[in-house]
Amino acid sequence: MSYAFIRQLTEAAEQYEAQNGNTQDLAAFGAWLQANYANSRSPMQQPSVPQAVQETTESRIGSYIIFLYRYAKGYTKKALEGSPLQTVDEFSFLISLMFGGSKTKTELIRHAVQEKTSGMEVIKRLLQQGLIRQEGDTADRRSKRLYITPEGQQTLFGVFEKMNQVSQIVAGNLSTSEREQLLQLLHKLHLFHKPIFLKQKEASLAEIYAKIAGNI
Other beta carbons within 10 angstroms of residue 109's beta carbon come to: 22
Structure confidence at residue 76 as a pLDDT band (50, 70, 90): very high
Domain boundaries, the chain: 58-172
Residue 113's nearest CA partner among 63, 157, 69 is 69
Q: What is the pLDDT of residue 200?
A: 85
Q: Which of 62, 145, 61, 164 is nearest to 105 (CA)?
A: 145
Yes or no: say if 163 and 76 are a contact pair by the CB < 8 Å rule. Answer: yes
Q: According to the model, what pLDDT value does residue 32 have? A: 67
Residue 74, pLDDT above cutoff 80: yes
Model confidence pLDDT, tens digit, residues 163-175:
999 999 999 999 9
Look at 63 and 9; give whichever has higher pLDDT: 63
Contact criterion met (CB below 8 Å) for 86 and 80 = yes
Q: What is the pLDDT of residue 14?
A: 72
- Reported CATH class of domain 58-172: mainly alpha
Q: Are 91 and 159 in contact (CB under 8 A)?
A: yes
In whole numbers, what is the pLDDT of the chain averaged over residues? 84
Residue-wise pLDDT tens digits, 181-204? 999 999 999 999 999 888 887 889
Of 183, 191, 188, 201, the C-alpha closest to 114 is: 201
Of 179, 165, 160, 158, nearest to 75 by C-alpha is 165
pLDDT at 2: 54
Q: What percentage of the chain reaches a pLDDT higher than 90? A: 55
What pLDDT is stored for residue 210 in this prediction?
87
Residue scoring higher pLDDT (86 or 4): 86
Q: Fill in the DSSP letter of residue 144.
A: E
Q: How far apart are CA 164 and CA 121, in angstroms?
A: 25
User: How far, in Å, CA of 86 to CA of 95, rounded?
Assistant: 14
C-beta of residue 33 within 8 angstroms of C-beta of residue 12: yes
Q: Provide Rg for the chain, Cα atoms.
A: 29
Query: What average pLDDT does the segment 139-168 reach?
Result: 92
Span 29-53, pLDDT tens digits: 677 666 776 555 544 444 555 555 5
Share of the chain above pLDDT 70, in %: 78
From the list 85, 102, 77, the residue with the least C-alpha distance to 154 is 85
E-strand ranges in 108-216 read 132-136, 144-148
